[in-house]
Structure 1
Amino acid sequence: MAKYSGIWPVAPVAFNDDGSVDLDGNRRILDCMIDQGVDGICVLANFSEQFLISDTERETLTRLSLEHVAGRVPVIVTISHYSTPIVVDRARLAKSLGAAMVMVMPPYHGALLKGTADQTFQQFAEISKVGIPIMVQDAPLSGVDLPVPLLVRMAHEIEEVRLFKIECAGAATKLRALIEAGGDAIEGPFDGEEAITLLADLDAGATGTMTSAMIPDQIKPVLTHWQAGDRAAATAAYARILPAVNHENRQCGFRSAKAVMMEGGVIRSDFSRHPIAPLHPATRAMLLDLVRPLNPVALNWGK
């Protein structure tokens, strides 16, 4: 098995109905994820609603997550920001608290402030000086183009750039090209997007996936069978979970994991801060209808 492999889901952030952060709920989320047999946990990512929390809350949740997990599984801390000094400070905090690595999107702010190839390279080089492994997040949200030659150059020339989460359109094609061109420097080729393209990405050489926290215990068998060389079993396991994953990816987004966790008694509320609207009741009901037959841990953990 590759050094970095398996399923490393994103932990959602639990809020109370009044919009305040539910600290105990966030601890319960982490415990529930660990009980699902995850290989690692990512915090403060886009599926954690990181764009809806304050800097103070971010620091509180970073400390809470690493202190509560306490080494039971590795933790990735997302530190993305347009400002390089802020990203470096976030990396230092994550390292000081025992994070296994940090995940970073290229520098961007809104639709027009986008880092060039050189600016992106320089920002990641500065983060590397902190001395913590870096996962590059190639996500459409940033709007920054990260061509394979740039990613390969980063892997070869920036010491701590080791992992790559590829979730752009045509992820399998990009993963295949990245692995072929980067060789051993690509220590952790991962996919994302709730595992909506997982089977194709595994076929392209992905060793891990970063899904939501909705049903990681049901997605993990896909990777386990694939790593064992049983393509038929992996395909069957993938077909089993795909309707729920598709509904999450296309209809619900980051609200799905909290809806399932609230239904399962993990958290008290599935609230998301404005301007995010709650799930339509019919959309939420269909999500639960698709998830219940899978009998995931999150749907029963708190009952």
Structure 2
Amino acid sequence: MTATPALADRATAVVNGVSPVLEVPFSDSGDIDVDGFRRVVRYVLGTGVTSVMFPGFASEFHKLTEGEREVLTGVLLDETSRRPDVSAIVAVQDHATRLAVARAAAAVKAGADMVNLLPPHFLSPSRRAIVAHVSAVLDAIAPTPLVLQYAPAETGTSLDGATIAAIAREHPNLALIKVESSPPGALIAELAAGDPPLAAVEGYAGVQLPDAYRRGAVGSQPGCSFTEIYVEIWRRFATGDEAGGDELHRRVLPYISYWMLDTELIVAAEKLISAKRGLFASAYCREPAHRLDPEEVRMVDRFLAEFSDLLPSLA
């Protein structure tokens, strides 16, 4: 089987341009800030994006209880259900196939437009086991489209274009690949030229966004604290202003390339950005976490000053 044009069109209609991964605000005591999360959702949806994803690494998904995750997912789906112009991508990261299947099916039943699947990676499962896991989730949610997340730096999982294409030939609802290898461009181009051709989105904070765009990526999935910058970079490329897109990306690159040296570092930096912009009160990250040192805090301040024209106060 191969992906139908209708499914491919549906998938790229959901993820077309910037599709941020939502962060989770906590109180200073470490409790989830539900009202703050609702403000995060509304802020991101107000930047002109067509979709958002939750929960991801930027959401500290691995530090949430099942109950907290359920509450926050409910907030997201409540907000997107009122907006026919936006879509919700709900992520599944369970290691056990049985649990991943159940969570993915529940997300679709609750109203998710797509499922983002992070393949299992604890204790280095075999490639055959990974393929079986992905296939089981695809079967469970068909015909709902699925985004397969490939994040080798965070997980150590090794996949290649041929393996992914083989899965897609058997499962037409494998609609998009989130490519977070570094650099991502070669795999994006390989997927686009494969049988069947597969669309890709670029992650990893947009460090390689210009190259990914030129190689055919249909979207980018960065964090969400300065969504406006990513939207403007993508807008410039999409409207033919490549020089302008390159110029704005060059300006932001020293910041995001430093922050992406460690996942906990960029989570902490983005939360401080959001707090300083007035989106929520506390920049608290649940332990274990990166604690920004004084120079890293000053770096955030320089970032906000440099891009103040694109990043208004959200208070």
Please indicate, yes or no, whether the TM-score normalized by the shorter chain is above 0.5.
yes
Q: Given the alignment, which residue of 74, 93, 99 partners 2:112?
A: 99
Gaps of 5+ in 2: 1-8
Name the structure 1 match of 2:274: 261
Query: CA separation in 2, counterparts of 1:32 and 1:297?
Result: 14
Verify: 1:65 aligned to 2:76, yes or no: yes
**Which residue among 90, 109, 115 is the counterpart of 2:125?**
115
Secondary structure of the residue aligned to 2:148 is strand
RMSD, matched Cα: 1.8
Query: Does the CA contact (< 8 Å) of 1:101 and 1:135 recur in 2?
Result: yes
CA–CA distance in 2 between the matches of 1:294 and 1:59?
35
Q: 1:270 aligns with which of 267, 271, 283?
A: 283
Aligned 8 A contact 1:103 1:134 in 2: yes
Does the CA contact (< 8 Å) of 2:25 and 2:282 recur in 1? yes
1:44–1:78 Cα contact (<8 Å) kept: yes
Residue 190 of structure 1: aligned partner? 201
Q: Could you say what secondary structure the match of 1:268 adopts?
A: coil
What code does the residue aligned with 1:161 have? L
| Aligned residue in 2 for 1:53 | 64
Length, aligned pairs only: 297
Partner of residue 127, structure 1: 137
Q: Distance in 2 between matches of 1:182 and 1:209?
A: 23
Deviation at 1:267? 0.6
Cα shift readout 1:131-171 (whole Å, capped 9, x = no counterpart): 22111110021211011111111222112211101011221
Partner SS state of residue 240, structure 1: helix
Instruction: Give the direction of change, closer, same or farther, for the CA distance of 1:299–1:53 in structure 2 (3 Å limit).
Output: farther
Whether the 8 Å contact between 2:268 and 2:290 is mirrored in structure 1 is no
2:150 partner amino acid: D
Q: Assess, with a 3 A threshold, how the Cα gap between structure 1 residues 295 and 182 changes in structure 2: closer, same or farther.
A: farther
Question: Which amino acid in structure 2 is aligned with residue 133 of structure 1?
Answer: P
Q: 1:24 aligns with which of 35, 42, 58?
A: 35
The answer to whether the 8 A contact 1:84-1:123 is kept is: yes
Q: Could you tell me how far apart the structure 2 residues matched to 1:297 and 1:291 are?
A: 9
Deviations 1:251-298 (A, max 9, x none): 631122211110011111011111113222320221221232212666
**Which aligned segments of 4 or more residues in structure 1 are displaced greater than 6 angstroms?**
none
**Inter-partner Cα distance in structure 2 for 1:296 and 1:174:** 35
2:304 touches 2:311 (CA, 8 Å); kept in 1?
A: no
